[in-house]
Structure 1
């Protein structure tokens, strides 16, 4: 039985695209999503799944300036990212050609990418299915850049951004709504 919601036009199309694997990410920066090292560190260090959001991850909060984030002594700079600077959390290295977060000169910590094994408070992680994501976040929308997005419960200034392939999430990010680092 198909369930539709008449108050949110386009939702049926979004659900069909997500479940059918049609929602694919465009040009997203390389992230910790594919890093096997971060999965090992995540589960070995914490003993239980780490949580992304609603305000930050690993001791770094959205909106912190680069100076404030560096002062935590929990991050390390990565080179080659523009227009923002790329960083990793020391405890969750993103691996070669990946980045764990982007910091904007104007907005501070703008995007934090979830390492493999790290979940949102609603239990969504890399490898979750489109159906699980839709159940956890019934107000999902599709952005022009291909992300499934939703306002973070408990933080109206942030969104979760999900990229899927073949009905499975391969990237989870916590981002400021007004971030200026990625489309």
Structure 2
């Protein structure tokens, strides 16, 4: 099946549309696709986009995978807090923030996209999420400064430290 890409110039603006497969869902500002920060486990499960991977223990969070992006044996794609709902979502490979940051981006690119990125002493670099004052992006660079992991999380999340 061929994919159709249509470009139309109207009023000086270029509009591009294509098949839904061409549209890529961004990480943020409120979540990833149909999975929204703050939604309950029941609401997240009802989307059909997540699968339970690690049941919550007493007072903790449950670990889930995005159905379309399963993770390895010792990891999860998101955490859902009993108190806060969807609390942390990790970016699957190929998924980027609206500013174009994703796994493989450099910290130099992160700082250009998010000039107010901060790194607490012995901490993880993070930046506020434009358009959502209740969330932050967390950037996990390797020794060479390239992101190995990226997440969006509620500021009030209680799943990871």
Q: Report the TM-score, using the length of structure 2 for normalisation.
A: 0.80
Return the offset for 1:81.
Answer: 6.6
Tell me the distance in 2 between the aligned counterparts of 1:96 and 1:54: 28
Aligned length: 139
Q: Which residue number corresponds to residue 162 of structure 1?
A: 139
1:99 corresponds in structure 2 to 76
- Please list the CA deviations of residues 136-183 of structure 1 after superposition, one character each: whole Å capped at 9, or x if unmatched: 000011135621111100000000000111211111001000000011
Give the equivalent residue in structure 1 for 2:152: 174
The residue that corresponds to 1:66 in the other structure is 41
How far apart are the structure 2 equivalents of 1:109 and 1:139?
A: 25
Deviation at 1:95, TM superposition (A): 2.8
After superposition, the Cα gap between the structure-2 partners of 1:46 and 1:143, relative to the gap in structure 1 and judged at 3 Å, is: farther
Structure 1 contact 58–89 (Cα < 8 Å) conserved:
no
Give the Cα separation in 2 of the matches to 1:182 and 1:145: 16
2:126: which partner in 1?
A: 149
Q: Secondary structure at the match of 1:112?
A: strand
Q: Which runs of 5 or more structure 1 residues have no equivalent in the other structure?
A: 1-44
User: Cα–Cα, structure 1 residues 58 and 144, in superposed 2: closer, same or farther, change >3 Å?
Assistant: farther
Matched residue, 2:67: 90
Q: CA separation in 1, counterparts of 2:21 and 2:122? A: 33
> 2: CA distance between counterparts of 1:103 and 1:145?
26
Residue aligning to 1:76: 51
Change (3 A) 1:73 1:155: same
Instruction: Provide the rounded CA distance (Å) in 2 between the counterparts of 1:134 and 1:50.
Output: 22
| Deviation digits for residues 109-151 of structure 1 (CA, Å, limit 9, x no counterpart) | 0000001110000000000011100000000111356211111
The normalised TM-score by structure 1 is 0.71
> How large is the Cα RMSD of the aligned pairs?
1.7
CA-CA distance at 1:58 after TM superposition: 2.6
Structure (1 or 2) with the greater strand fraction: 2
